[in-house]
Chain A
């Protein structure tokens, strides 16, 4: 047996060993998708670098590792999660904590907020809102060539469910804190479903923290439905230790005249791969995809973005920036697809990267497939060092070289940060990024792990 298939077989066995326990907590509909999905996974396997969409990222060091356990929670596990408090104290948000991908049981599994909004455990929602979840679950994560999405569909046990009814504007964002905490090396998969109905307005912040110094692998899928004329923003703040691997797949489906944005802020993490899929599925819709990463040591951050224009007169833009220090590496793959009938499309893409050392590296790849003729599209990629002219200009005014470098890097990063439309979080990210650039943040904020 080859080394490759041994890896796939391990996950296949993990499925067999745990599937009855996993199924016990889920609805029959979600369970009905599992067997076909594991079959798909067995055929596709873990994405290799020969897969065009994973060309610059080697998942092997994390996937070939034997995690032994597949986490299933006991009630006592949630005590710490319930006690966790976000240290952004002026962030006025509805907070939810997920522990290793599970929604804590202590305070009820679903809660209702004013305006008929529901947030809570996906497993519970699948029972309580059967029709609603069946209408949306698995409908948007339809990329068939990525084995990891199928692996998630096969084995995900819980995650966050959010339902925003028609016409509801939720002024406070919802903040989901993903805690990863275990005495063992673990493999975690969760699945989120967010439904934002017609004319509604909703923002969600997802923060990742690791609380113990073990080796972690997370493979998470989030599906979002954004109804006609609705507004939706998702902001991810990724702050995990160097031994953690985080893989996210986010699918945002938009109906006509809706506006959605996604912002991936990767401050720290061993290996991070974010795939963000924007589907402009109705005329006049608009999407924005942003990303910022600061990497050092052996970290690797890969942002994969795919924007599909399926209807006329939609607008999209992508802005991804990275600062790479030491021997860190990064990748950006930005895809724009314009369907034959999607006339009047405007689609833009830009990635700018700064390499601080000779050993850091970033690969940037635009991928444009345009099948309509009345289209305005642009893409641009830069990889370079800090601007020497700007550095000299600042120094000639008395600013120390190190300070001038910091100001330039911060200014570079701020172009992405300024798009966060939650003020307290924006200020917080500004200050975290500044600390990170200064080297004062040798570990993640709120992290108890001194991973050095």
Chain B
């Protein structure tokens, strides 16, 4: 479904991604790990359509279509979801209004009628339970005054509402205590349908105890330097990233 081919990205004259190739099939879970500054978040942002980086080479296909040509809202409606590392606070825009607008845009795209207020609230109630999000938060402005953990839960709650084909979770585990981590991870597992895929971007192995990846990639210096099974995550947890950095630097 997603095919990234030799993607090179430049931010303000600096090369951040130096030729990434990655292919995700329906139902797969990929983990992307790597040290700080390796380009993980840039990759996530480029896939979601954040207009801050220049793609200098390569291509990204989404079900055969050129993803990079699509507006962020169209990517969302076509089934791509980005769980933000730092979710944005939007004062004055209520969670209900925000989600209702988003959900109805998705429905319109599929040729469906907008949801009635009562149907919408029913769906919202069901999905809230999946991520154990406090009902009071749903009545507030988007992310405003939410704690770090609540913001991350809110990302997964939005994922549950929008039911994406591909969820890219950018360091969803950062800033979570162990209980919140479990709730968030279980939420992802419950939401996921057999044919939907996830890209988990993380520093640590602990989230991968819950969301078990089919493939683990290590990103370093804007390249995927290692791809292996889930055991690679364990190895990284044990040994850190230095041995990989050394390996790569020696090759160069």
Interface residues of A (CB under 8 A from B): 387, 389-390, 392-401, 403, 407-408, 410-415
Contacts and interface: CB of A to CB of B under 8 A. Distances in A.
Nearest to A415: B92
Interface string B96-130: 01110110011001000000000000000000000
Nearest to B45: A392
Contacts of B102: 394, 397-399
A400 B141 contact: no
Given A397-B98, A397-B162, A399-B101, A408 B71 contact: no
A395 B76 contact: yes
Nearest to B78: A398
Contacts of A401: 71, 73
B234 interface: no
Contact of B101 (A392, A393, A403, A413): A403
Interface stretch (B54-62, B83-91, B185-193, B217-225): B83-91
Interface string B204-230: 000000000000000000000000000
B93 A407 contact: yes
Interface in B120-162: 141-142, 158, 162
Nearest to A416: B92
A398 B73 contact: yes
A398 B77 CA distance: 5
Contact of B50 (A392, A399, A407, A410): A392
Given A396-B48, A396-B82, A397-B98, A389 B88 contact: yes
B35 interface: no
Nearest to B159: A397
A403 B102 CA distance: 10
A265 B88 CA distance: 29
Interface of A is mostly: helix
24 contacts: A387-B90, A389-B88, A392-B50, A393-B87, A394-B93, A394-B98, A395-B72, A396-B73, A396-B84, A397-B76, A397-B98, A397-B102, A397-B162, A398-B105, A399-B73, A399-B98, A399-B105, A400-B73, A401-B73, A407-B93, A408-B93, A410-B92, A412-B91, A413-B92
A392 B72 contact: yes
B124 to A, nearest CB: 14
A399 B141 CA distance: 16
B162 A390 contact: no
| A-B pairs, 5 with minimum CB distance | A411-B92, A398-B76, A397-B102, A395-B72, A393-B88
A309 to B, nearest CB: 29
Contact of A411 (B76, B141, B158): B141
A193 B82 CA distance: 58
A396 B70 CA distance: 11
B49 interface: yes
In this complex, the member of B77, B99, B102 whose beta carbon has the largest number of chain A beta carbons within 10 angstroms is B102
Contacts of A387: 88, 90
B72 to A, nearest CB: 4
Contacts of A412: 91-92
Given A392-B88, A396-B81, 16 more contacts: A387-B90, A390-B90, A392-B49, A393-B84, A393-B90, A394-B93, A394-B102, A396-B75, A396-B82, A396-B84, A398-B162, A399-B73, A399-B105, A408-B90, A411-B141, A415-B91
A390 B98 CA distance: 12
A109 to B, nearest CB: 44
A414 B158 CA distance: 24
Nearest to B48: A396
Contacts of B93: 394, 407-408, 410-411
A239 B179 CA distance: 54
A294 B55 CA distance: 39
Contacts of A415: 91-92
A390 B51 CA distance: 13
B62 to A, nearest CB: 15
A400 B109 CA distance: 11
Contacts of B97: 407
In this complex, the member of A394, A398, A410 whose beta carbon has the largest number of chain B beta carbons within 10 angstroms is A398
Contacts of A407: 93, 97-98, 101
Contacts of A396: 48-50, 72-73, 75-76, 81-82, 84
Nearest to B107: A398
A408 B91 CA distance: 8
Contacts of B141: 411
A412 B90 CA distance: 9
B183 to A, nearest CB: 21
Contact of B91 (A393, A397, A411): A411
Contacts of A398: 73, 76-77, 102, 105-106, 109, 162
Nearest to B88: A393
A46 B91 CA distance: 41
B51 to A, nearest CB: 8
A397 B161 CA distance: 10
A427 to B, nearest CB: 15
A407 B101 CA distance: 10
B92 A390 contact: no
A393 to B, nearest CB: 4
Contacts of A408: 90, 92-93
A369 B162 CA distance: 53
Given A395-B49, A395-B73, A400 B87 contact: no
Nearest to A392: B50
A429 to B, nearest CB: 14
B90 A414 contact: no
A394 B90 contact: yes
Given A396-B82, A399-B105, A407-B93, A390 B88 contact: yes
Contacts of B82: 396
Nearest to B84: A393
A46 B102 CA distance: 52
In this complex, the member of B71, B82, B101 whose beta carbon has the largest number of chain A beta carbons within 10 angstroms is B101
A397 B91 CA distance: 17
B49 A397 contact: no
A413 B99 CA distance: 20
Contacts of A399: 73, 98, 101-102, 105
Given A408-B93, A411-B141, A397 B88 contact: no
Nearest to A398: B76
